[in-house]
Amino acid sequence: MSEIPFLFQADEDVDLTGVNRLGLMGGTFDPIHQGHLVTAEAARSGFNLDRVIFVPSGQPPHKSGQQITPKEKRYLMTELATVTNPFFDVSRVEVSKDGYSYSADTVRYFRRSLAAGSEIYFITGADAIMEIISWKNIDELFANCTFIAATRPGVQYRAMLEKLERQLKPAYRDKVIAIEVPAMAISSTDIRRRVAEGRTIKYLLPETVEHYIAKQGLYRV
Ligand code: NAP
């Protein structure tokens, strides 16, 4: 399947003027849903962030071999979902790049655009954070940002703590903050399954994204 042409050039990425406390919301967003939006807003208000920039992955290194929706379509769904929140933006930094997307490269890219002393919070799912020991350049990552791990209701929080306790040194563990997000009961996997089975996805994600999925015929088997 051919890719949609770029809507913007990479050098027209988001404007960070006046931003001292930045949230980076990393994810595959296949598709983006209300759980992601509630997580980003909870992090924004809870950690007093000036801006939350959603960063849809280009080619996730841990998903080679898995079928994922083309990156330009995931990017567009992220734009559609976030447009109504003035504190949210979407970056093309990962989708514009060929090859794998590594969070260390992404965080470094934003760190260079911020004033010295600014704070970066990398927000993502607890399941992803549990695998952080395998990420590229984790020493640089922990030097550049603090992590906010969104846990789903249930046992995920304890499982994450136990895993990080075994794998990370204390200085790094202190830079992982868990937030429980009840809306993360919604999952992209469940939404894809529902579409494939012809079940409703109404209210699980913004209406614009629901219509885009239907129009593009995404997730049908
Ligand atoms: P994933 O494996 O698809 O998802 C892991 C779990 O986290 C899923 O339960 C997912 O729920 C949830 N999740 C993902 N993004 C979330 C977010 N922003 N807020 C709340 N929950 C979220 O993970 P992924 O989306 O591919 O990766 C997450 C982030 O970690 C991305 O930015 C990715 O680039 C980064 N990462 C980096 C490396 C590396 O640098 N080597 C390796 C792995 C991941 P849903 O399915 O409902 O989203």
The whole domain housing 129 covers 21-216
90 Cα: distance to centroid of ligand 1 (angstroms) = 16
Ligand 1 within 6 A of CB of 140 = no
> What's the mean pLDDT in 26-31?
98
The pLDDT value recorded for residue 8 is 42
Q: Model confidence over 148-174: pLDDT tens digits?
A: 999 988 777 888 999 999 999 999 999
Q: What angle do CA 32, 37, 38 make, to 5 degrees?
A: 140
98 Cα: distance to centroid of ligand 1 (angstroms) = 19
57 Cα: distance to centroid of ligand 1 (angstroms) = 9
| Domain assignment of residue 2, yes or no | no
The pLDDT value recorded for residue 188 is 97
The pLDDT value recorded for residue 154 is 77
For the chain, what is the domain count? Answer: 1
Q: Model confidence over 39-79: pLDDT tens digits?
A: 999 999 999 999 999 999 998 888 877 899 999 999 999 99
Ligand 1 within 6 A of CB of 124 = yes
| Domain assignment of residue 181, yes or no | yes
| Domain assignment of residue 138, yes or no | yes
Ligand 1 within 6 A of CB of 32 = no
d(CA 202, CA 216): 16
Nearest CA to ligand 1 atom 1: 128
φ and ψ at residue 185, rounded to 5 degrees: -60, -25
Ligand 1 within 6 A of CB of 61 = yes
| Domain assignment of residue 6, yes or no | no
User: How buried is 61 (Cβ within 10 angstroms: 0-12 exposed, 13-18 middle, 19+ buried)?
Assistant: middle
Q: What is the model's pTM?
A: 0.94
| Domain assignment of residue 14, yes or no | no
Q: Model confidence over 103-128: pLDDT tens digits?
A: 999 999 999 999 999 999 999 999 99
Pocket test for ligand 1, best of 32, 44, 55, 124 (most atoms within 8 A of CB): 124
| Domain assignment of residue 39, yes or no | yes
Is the per-residue pLDDT at 175 higher than 70? yes
125 Cα: distance to centroid of ligand 1 (angstroms) = 5
Secondary structure of residue 206 in the 3-state scheme: coil
- Contacts of residue 162, Cβ cutoff 8 Å, sequence gap at least 6: none
The pLDDT value recorded for residue 103 is 97
Query: Residue 181 maps to which CATH number?
Result: 3.40.50.620
Nearest CA to ligand 1 atom 36: 103
Q: Model confidence over 182-221: pLDDT tens digits?
A: 999 999 999 999 999 999 999 999 999 999 999 999 999 8
Q: What angle do CA 95, 97, 98 make, to 5 degrees?
A: 115
Q: Model confidence over 123-149: pLDDT tens digits?
A: 999 999 999 999 999 999 999 999 999
pLDDT band at 12 (very low <50, low <70, confident <90, very high): low
